[in-house]
Amino acid sequence: MSYIGKTPTVGNFIKLDAITTSSTNSYTLQHNSVNFSPESALHMMVSLNGVIQAPNTSYTVSGSTITFLPSSGTLSSSDSIDLNYVLG
């Protein structure tokens, strides 16, 4: 079957490297220590402090940078990004 644009990837599930939080909201996404750029925030499953986050509402992705938009203002080193998967 032909597609307009990029051919969809099926079953390409990637667990990204762990992210250590600090007093910022932007972090670099990496897979095996290499910067990784997902298709969009909608292709990700992210958990912050044990709560699954809503793409484009709780976080955005631009290139290999994920930016969290917490209601508290800024993440701290006590926050935990528990789950960080890309769904192909």
Mean pLDDT of 8-18: 81
**pLDDT at 72 (0 to 100):** 66
CB atoms within 10 A of CB 42: 10
pLDDT tens sequence across 73-88: 788 888 888 888 888 7
Query: Are residues 66 and 30 in contact, defined by beta-carbon separation less than 8 angstroms?
Result: no
pLDDT at 38: 93
Note whether 30 and 83 are within 8 A (CB). no
Tens digit of pLDDT for each residue in 14-61? 999 999 888 889 999 999 999 999 999 999 999 999 999 999 999 999
| Statement: the pTM of the whole predicted model exceeds 0.85 | no
